[in-house]
Structure 1
Amino acid sequence: DPDGPENQELVRRKGIMCAEVCDATCRVLSEQNQVDEAAIRIQVEWCRQMCLESAQAFDGHSGAEETAEACRACARACTEFLATLN
């Protein structure tokens, strides 16, 4: 049951984790002069993957369509940023 309590808890946890990963990624990027490119790449890839997983978790939940799309937009931004790295 997609709206059952266990699945709702999973979606809630995934949303919190995604927000935390995105926040950590923003901090890494704001301090990029102090972090090497390999570490930036790993962090941004982690963010991209978490956003995609979260979007999938939000799919099928009424009222979460915009959230799923925001996650996908963030994943696209991560993909585009990774393409700019050497």
Structure 2
Amino acid sequence: MTRPGPGYPRCVTSTTSQQELFRFLEDRFACAQACTECARACATRASLVDPDGTELQELVRRKGIMCAEVCDATCRVLSENNRMDETGIRVQLEWCRTVCLECAHVFDKYPGAEESAAACRACAQACSDFMATLG
């Protein structure tokens, strides 16, 4: 039996079917792509907000920047061949999921940020879905 690489579920072995491995990689890529889309939406939303505006505007700007950074870092973890183990990947995914949901709630209160909130929720769901494939 071969040892799985970093970020692969423990169940991936030399006897695992290629279909299961392909599905795992597709799910990992889908999560990384959702993170990229969320990062882009959050960065755009944050850049459109007046930094000297109201308290809500400042919250939207700060949450948008933080979400963009966390999503970008999560995408890099998922797309690069790194040395992070499954536990580290789970922690990163959970952090990303939590930040995305917090950001979506803030965006819900801000007129015109519906698409950004939807991107955050899609990313949070993709992170949850991928964590489920890790076993």
TM-score (normalised: structure 2): 0.59
Partner of 2:117: 68
8 Å contact from structure 1 (residues 22, 47) kept in 2: yes
Instruction: List alignment gaps of at least 5 residues for structure 1.
Output: none
Deviation string 1:7-57 (CA, Å, 9 cap, x unpaired) is 110110000000000000011112355210000000000000000000000
8 Å contact from structure 1 (residues 32, 40) kept in 2: no
Aligned length in residues: 83
Instruction: List alignment gaps of at least 5 residues for structure 2.
Output: 1-52
- Cα RMSD of the aligned pairs, angstroms, is 1.2
1:36-75 alignment to 2 at 5 Å?
Answer: 36-75=85-124
8 Å contact from structure 2 (residues 67, 103) kept in 1: yes
Amino acid corresponding to residue 52 of structure 1 in structure 2: L
TM-score (normalised: structure 1): 0.90
Rounded Cα–Cα distance in structure 1 between residues aligned with 2:81 and 2:128: 17
Rounded Cα–Cα distance in structure 2 between residues aligned with 1:66 and 1:77: 16
Q: Structure 1 residue 5: deviation in Å?
A: 0.8
Amino acid corresponding to residue 54 of structure 2 in structure 1: P
Deviation string 1:49-68 (CA, Å, 9 cap, x unpaired) is 00000000000211101110
Rounded Cα–Cα distance in structure 2 between residues aligned with 1:83 and 1:32: 20
Larger radius of gyration: 2
Rounded Cα–Cα distance in structure 2 between residues aligned with 1:35 and 1:16: 25
Partner of 2:59: 10
Rounded Cα–Cα distance in structure 1 between residues aligned with 2:121 and 2:104: 6
Partner of 1:35: 84
Partner of 2:73: 24
